[in-house]
Amino acid sequence: MRKALLAAEAVEEGEVVELLKALVRLPSHYPGPGEEGVVAFLEAYLQERGLKPFRQEAAPGRPNLVADLGEGEGGLILEGHTDVVTPGEEALWTYPPYGAVVEGGRLYGRGACDMKGGLAALVGALLAVKRVLGKPKRPLRLAALADEEGMMRGVKAFLEAGLARGFRGALVAEPEAMEVCLWQKGALRLRLLFPGRMAHGAMPYAGDNPIPKAARFVVSLKELEGKLQAAFPHPHLGPPYLTPTRFLASAGEGQLNVIPPMAEVALDVRTVPGMDHGELLARIGELAGVGVEVLEDRPPVETPREDPLVQAAEEALRLLGLPVRLGGVPGATDGTFLRAWAGLPVVVMGPGEKTLPHQVDEWVDLEEVVLAARVYAALAVLYLD
């Protein structure tokens, strides 16, 4: 208990804030510059502080960065991602998206909340534990991973390389207003193709228009969604959703008088624990009357509250005089695969408001970032020492 408090106190506020500013000033959206700049900066930063980080290529030009404190098994992974989404039209921003401007205790910029604030807090905690424990009894591994905002190739490569093997828990610093999030929604990204037959728009009887078939399917999804929401309520995640996100049907640019040969519908499906993805895919396929192509499958996951990692998270919050609030993650995170593929207990807990990611004028509260670093440091000591 005393060591945990010492670790929390060993977090250097100025260090964490200056690191966050530096991270936000490095654009890392993809397509675009990607994660290389952030990884190169963090790699040098950690080396200067006595750590020996190493890279892993998640995809060409898209590196993961891993750094360890201590050796052995039964350790804790501190996980965050280095990529951000595009800032969009920069003229819409009050402050430059990569300016890291501080105003009223808030730092503004793309990625400030999602999730360079959390990443800076993880690094600050790692260094604080190093100051207090030197080498902990069990290892503490920082995993700064690529492509979380895309197809999560960073965490997939991390797991496929066995880099989570031997660890017994993972803390993911996504912006969840410091709730202890034990549940994460699953996600299915689907594509359905409705075949037709081209014909002149003046003679529709000579063809087969796929648009009405696709449209009937989209409308019928709402009824299925309602049934699923009634059958699978969740107190922390909210209801499941079946959301059409793309509807395409065209015979070519400017061909407004031609019945198209195909209509495409894309769906973003969000599920909760208890839902079987295989059964859901079968119901969607039956409703559509066509095949369903699965572009991505991320299962819903949960971690039992009695797990030692959860107990350490709750105790760390109480040690610092903070409330313990349980929550759920409305989307998938890298923690989804750390739980589903590696079987690790996962706590998602980080600074930043849940609704701010991906918005114009994204911001994070600097006091909350520093506080998160203190909580992480105490948690790590409680869990490892």
Residues 238-289 pLDDT 10s:
999 999 999 999 988 878 999 999 999 999 999 999 999 999 999 999 999 9
Average pLDDT over residues 125-135: 96
Is residue 98 within 8 Å of 121, Cβ to Cβ? no
**Res 187 pLDDT > 90:** yes
Q: Could you give the C-alpha distances from 348 to 91, 144, 203, 269, 308, in angstroms and in order?
A: 33, 15, 57, 21, 14
What is the C-alpha to C-alpha distance for residues 365 and 114, in angstroms, rounded to an integer? 12
Tokens of 191: 């594509």
Residues 94-120 pLDDT 10s:
999 999 999 999 999 999 999 999 999
The model's confidence at residue 384, banded by pLDDT at 50, 70 and 90, is very high
Q: What confidence score (pLDDT) does residue 376 get?
A: 98
Omega before 300 within 30 of 0, i.e. cis:
no
Residues 12-34 pLDDT 10s:
999 999 999 999 999 999 999 99
Percent share of the chain, pLDDT over 70: 100
Q: What confidence score (pLDDT) does residue 253 get?
A: 81
One-letter amino acid of 335? G
The model's confidence at residue 65, banded by pLDDT at 50, 70 and 90, is very high
> Is residue 188 classed as helix, strand or coil in its secondary structure?
strand
The model's confidence at residue 54, banded by pLDDT at 50, 70 and 90, is very high
For the chain, give the mean pLDDT: 97
> Residue 155: which of 303, 337, 298 has the closest Cα?
337
DSSP per-residue codes, 263-292: EEEEEEEEE-TT--HHHHHHHHHHHHTS-E
**Res 331 pLDDT > 90:** no
Task: Give me the helices (H) in the chain, please.
Answer: 2-9, 13-24, 36-48, 117-133, 153-160, 210-231, 277-288, 308-319, 334-340, 366-384
Residues 150-184 pLDDT 10s:
999 999 999 999 999 999 999 999 999 999 999 99
Which residues are paired to 144 by β-bridges? 65, 80
Tokens of 315: 């105790």
**Res 212 pLDDT > 90:** yes
DSSP per-residue codes, 212-273: HHHHHHHHHHHHHHHHHHHH---TTT---EEEEEEEE--SSTT-TTEE-SEEEEEEEEEE-T
Q: Could you give the C-alpha distances from 230 to 122, 226, 233, 332, in angstroms and in order?
A: 39, 6, 6, 22
Q: What confidence score (pLDDT) does residue 254 get?
A: 79
Q: What confidence score (pLDDT) does residue 1 get?
A: 83
Q: What confidence score (pLDDT) does residue 24 get?
A: 98
Tokens of 258: 């031609």
> Is residue 86 classed as helix, strand or coil in its secondary structure?
coil
Residues 337-379 pLDDT 10s:
999 999 999 999 999 999 999 999 999 999 999 999 999 999 9
| Cβ neighbours for 193, distance < 8 A, ≥ 6 positions apart | 262, 263, 264, 290, 291, 293
> Residue 136: which of 68, 221, 195 has the closest Cα?
68
Sign of CA dihedral 57, 62, 67, 71: negative
Inter-helix orientation angle 117-133/366-384, to 10°: 40
